[in-house]
Amino acid sequence: MVNEIIKYDPELNTIPLRKFTPVEMNLFFSIISRMRDKSNQTIRFTFDQLKELSAYKPTANNRFEDDIQRTYEKMMGLHFGRRSKSGLTREFFVLFTEFKIDGDAEEPYVDVKVYERALPLLNKLESWVRYALAEFRDLKSSYAKTMFRLLKQFRTTGYAYFSKEDFFELLDMPKSYWNSPSNVDKFVIKSIKEELTPLFRGLT
């Protein structure tokens, strides 16, 4: 497989991937990797293409369909939004408007279409986050996957700053961790350090 590159507007990194499993993150960003600069075309992924892109391990198609469906259901909960300077005008939208899974076709497939309002997230990018899908996909922990994306956004500055509230929200940590630094160290920071230190030289 070609070294697939994921590239999107940094705004996509501001949306916490609520309760996404590592497998669902792989499926989501595998789709994102092929949607760039496709405008609002409907893009077709065969099951085999998606499995290869996401390095999906189980082989049964019914299990794969269930995982795709769960990924899409969680994607529908990702709300992007804009607010006017006064704060009085607000709009919210989802990323995809069409998501069809056809497991009965001779070559089973998924059709995906980006919502018109969301096109700037993936088309004619003026600023972007960019990284190799394989590097992202090979990370095991969902915390490491999220921090990998966030750090790639700051690759030109060499450091990233987050308030405690943003850090906890973006990594979608359980509320019980908010006042438990030992849990954050043990279950979040440890896996991030272990998995990302080989990828980011001098990571602290």
Fold that domain 1-138 belongs to in CATH: Arc Repressor Mutant, subunit A (1.10.10)
What distance in Å separates the CA atoms of residue 100 and residue 111, rounded to the nearest whole number? 5
pLDDT digits (tens, 9 = 90+) for 32-87: 999 999 999 999 999 999 999 999 987 778 899 999 999 999 988 887 766 667 87
Model pTM above 0.85: yes
| Distance separating alpha carbons of residues 71 and 50, to the nearest angstrom | 13
Sheet holding 96-102, edge to edge: 42-46, 109-114, 96-102
User: Which DSSP state fits 84?
Assistant: -
Q: Which residues pair with 131 in a beta bridge?
A: 6
Q: Alpha-carbon distance 98 to 111, whole Å?
A: 7
Q: pLDDT, tens digit, for every residue of 113-125? A: 999 989 999 999 9
Contact 157, 44 (CB under 8 A): no
* Residue-range domain boundaries for the chain: 1-138, 140-204
